[in-house]
Structure formats: C-alpha cells, structure tokens
Amino acid sequence: QLNSLAVAAGLKYFGTAVREGSVSSDSAYMAIVNNKNELGQVVSENGQKWDATEPSRNTFTYTQGDIVPNVAKKNGQYLRCHTLTWHSQLPSWVSSGSWTRATLQPVIETHISNVMAHYLGQCYAWDVVNEAIADDGTWRDSVFYRTFSTDFLAISFNAAKKADPNTKLYYNDYNLEYNGAKTERALEVVNIIQKAGAPIDGVGFQAHLIVGSTPSRSSLATVLKRFTALNVEVAYTELDIRHSSLPASTSALATQGNDFANVVGSCLDVTGCVGVTVWGFTDKYSWVPSTFSGAGDALIYDSNLNKKAAWTSISSVL
Ligand code: XIL
C-alpha cells in the first residue's frame, strides 16, 4: 500500500486531497481515504480557503474547513493545511476592496491569525502563500501584489509564524517543475522572504502535469535540489498527470504510470523532499476536467475506484 511503501522508502507520507462533499456521501471513497497504509496524509480540497473561512470580514466559519482535519484526526494521518494568502477563491470583499498598505495588512494578519489559531497543533504544514507568480515568471497580478508589491510575502509568513510557531510554513505554486522562468522567480520568493528575516520552511510543487510532457526523474530531482540548497524542504503537494485527450489508450495509461513514477522517484532522490500528495486519488472526483477542457483521468484510481497502471508504477518505484 502506497503510504506504507513511501514511509519505508524514507518519505514522511504519501497522501491525497479530499473533497469535502464526498466525506459524508461516498463510503467506498472513504474506505480508501481512511486506510492510513494507503494514504498517510490528507488536505482539504476547498474547505480551508479564504472564501470558505472568512466569507465576510471578521466572520470566521469552519464548517467546511473542519471536515478533512477531522478525518485526519480520526485516522491519525498527517494533515497539510491549504491555503492562506491566495488571489483565487478569495471573497470579493478582499479582492475588490480599495486598499492601502495600512488597511490591507491587518486584513491579512487577522485572517491568518484566526484561521491558524483554529487549527493550532493540527497541521504538519501550511501553504501560507499560494501562486504568487504568473506562468511567464512575472509576478502575478493580485490585490496583494498591487497593494504591497512583494512585501505581502514577508507579511504573510511573519503572521503565520506568530500564529503557529510549530507548523512548517510553505510557499506553494505550479509549473515550477520545468526549471524555467517561473522556477527562477520561485527561488527569488524564497530569497525575498529569507532576506526580510521572515521564516519559510518549505516549497510546495503542485505538479499539475501532463501525460507525455512530464520531466524526467533526474531533471525533476535537479529542480527540487535548487530549492533544498536554500535550506527549505520540498514536497509535491497537488500531483495529478492529465491525459490531453480521452479516452486514454492502454499505452497512454502506461506512459502516465511512468510519469507518476518519475515524480515520486525524484522525491526519493532528494534529501529534504518530504512527501507526495495527489490532488485527489480517483478519476471519479477531480478538478481537472472542469478546468482543462477535454483533458482528464489524471489520477491513480479510475472512476470506479479501481487501481490504474499509475498505481502499480508508483508502487514499483517506492
Ligand atoms: C481547486 C479545487 O480542486 C477545485 O475543487 C476548486 O474548484 C478550485 O480549486 N491549485 C491549488 C488548489 O492550489 O487549491 C486548486 O484546487 C487547484 C490548483
């Protein structure tokens, strides 16, 4: 079973995102989620995001946010917590407000201190800032960047440290796996935070990848090592590898398996790569088809909850 194999191979966990709505509605799905030998770590797919936890100013609600942490508690699984400062799934009172530094800083600090206090002691790691970089390597346009330039990075990480000194504080982003302009900028994120004297413990590689275009195990390991060289740990935090066209042929499924094995293998190759999280484990529930039109089947169990070739490839590399 994947988590047991991952732990035996030296990782802290192999885990998954969990869709809140399925926790009470799909017992076959939950039988796999609840198997700690298969999935040693969970993360909320949506429930801890700003629009769910603070939909209007100073009104904090944790009904959705608590669902997956409670699963982790019951099963004794690691919990990753996701996410605090992010331009998306951000309520419009934040994204469309007219702010100055002086008015937006306490909004960020209040959000972070409340949410992290609610989960105090439960999170192995928090994705403090998510997706601050555009795909071409420039800074992403957001209310945070427009108001603070890059100072919202240190503001967020300092607030997080104050709220929970014992969780790992991560910067998390996608398309860092290709060692291009976006990767360079992510290295700069780490530098900026460290130079500001603010704490950062890890960088999360989302790894929303494409079958047949996933980098090799050795180039992935090379990218991870550029980050661990800066004294931060790394993890794959949202791994999925989508087929660009469906249905996938038998050979495309085998390629997908190889690609998954390369990603997991690269984590094994890097001291300081702590674990791998898939963004859902079954094709029954995945954000991919609704986001990437025509693409899908990006996970390791099919939509009938049967193991795919990708599952077997991962188990062989571990
Ligand atoms: C996605 C969820 O999976 C979807 O259910 C939701 O509609 C949109 O967000 N990067 C992230 C995740 O950091 O939070 C996103 O999750 C996927 C991309």
* CA 191 to centroid of ligand 1, rounded, Å: 26
pLDDT, tens digit (0-9, with 9 covering 90-100), for 197-214:
999 999 999 999 999 999
Residue 89, sorted as left (phi over 0), alpha (psi -120 to 50) or beta, turns out to be left
Q: Best substitution site from 175, 279, 286, 292 to test ligand 1's pocket, by max atoms within 8 Å of Cβ?
A: 279
* CA 151 to centroid of ligand 1, rounded, Å: 25
pLDDT, tens digit (0-9, with 9 covering 90-100), for 20-50:
999 999 999 999 999 999 999 999 999 999 9
Note the pLDDT of residue 57. Answer: 98
Closest protein CA for atom 15 of ligand 1 = 45
Q: Which residue has the tokens 């429930």?
A: 47
pLDDT, tens digit (0-9, with 9 covering 90-100), for 91-129:
999 999 999 999 999 999 999 999 999 999 999 999 999
pLDDT, tens digit (0-9, with 9 covering 90-100), for 5-28:
999 999 999 999 999 999 999 999
CB-ligand 1 contact for 285 (6 Å cutoff): no
Q: CA 187 → CA 74, 99, 125, 130, 131, distances in Å?
A: 37, 28, 19, 14, 13
296 and 60 Cβ atoms separated by less than 8 Å: no
Note the pLDDT of residue 304. Answer: 98
* CA 105 to centroid of ligand 1, rounded, Å: 25
Region 142-167: mean pLDDT is 98
Active-site residue flag, 238: yes
CB-ligand 1 contact for 20 (6 Å cutoff): no
What pTM was computed for the model? 0.98
Closest protein CA for atom 1 of ligand 1 = 287
Q: What is the 3-state secondary structure (H, E, C) of the chain?
A: CHHHHHHHCCCCEEEEEECHHHHHHCHHHHHHHCCCCCCCEEEECCCCCHHHHCCECCECCCCCCCHHHHHHHHHCCEEEEEEEECCCCCCHHHHCCCCCHHHHHHHHHHHHHHHHHHCCCCCCEEEEEECCECCCCCECCCHHHHHHCCHHHHHHHHHHHHHCCCCEEEEEECCCCCCCHHHHHHHHHHHHHHHCCCCCCEEEECCEEECCCCCCHHHHHHHHHHHHCCCCEEEEEEEEEEECCCCCCHHHHHHHHHHHHHHHHHHHCCCCEEEEEECCCECCCCCHHHHCCCCECCCCECCCCCECHHHHHHHHHC
pLDDT, tens digit (0-9, with 9 covering 90-100), for 56-96:
999 999 999 999 999 999 999 999 999 999 999 999 999 99
38, 45, 131, 233: which is the annotated catalytic residue?
A: 131
Note the pLDDT of residue 176. Answer: 98
Single out the residue of 144, 48, 158, 149 nearest to residue 104, CA to CA: 144
d(CA 214, CA 220): 9
pLDDT, tens digit (0-9, with 9 covering 90-100), for 178-189:
999 999 999 999
CB-ligand 1 contact for 158 (6 Å cutoff): no
In the chain, the domains with their CATH numbers are 2-317 (3.20.20.80)
CB-ligand 1 contact for 85 (6 Å cutoff): no
Note the pLDDT of residue 146. Answer: 98
How many CA atoms does the CB half-sphere of 254 hold within 13 Å?
A: 3
Region 234-250: mean pLDDT is 98
Question: How many Cβ atoms from other residues are within 10 Å of residue 163's Cβ?
Answer: 21
In the chain, the percentage of residues whose pLDDT exceeds 90 is 100
CB-ligand 1 contact for 206 (6 Å cutoff): yes
Active-site residue flag, 233: no
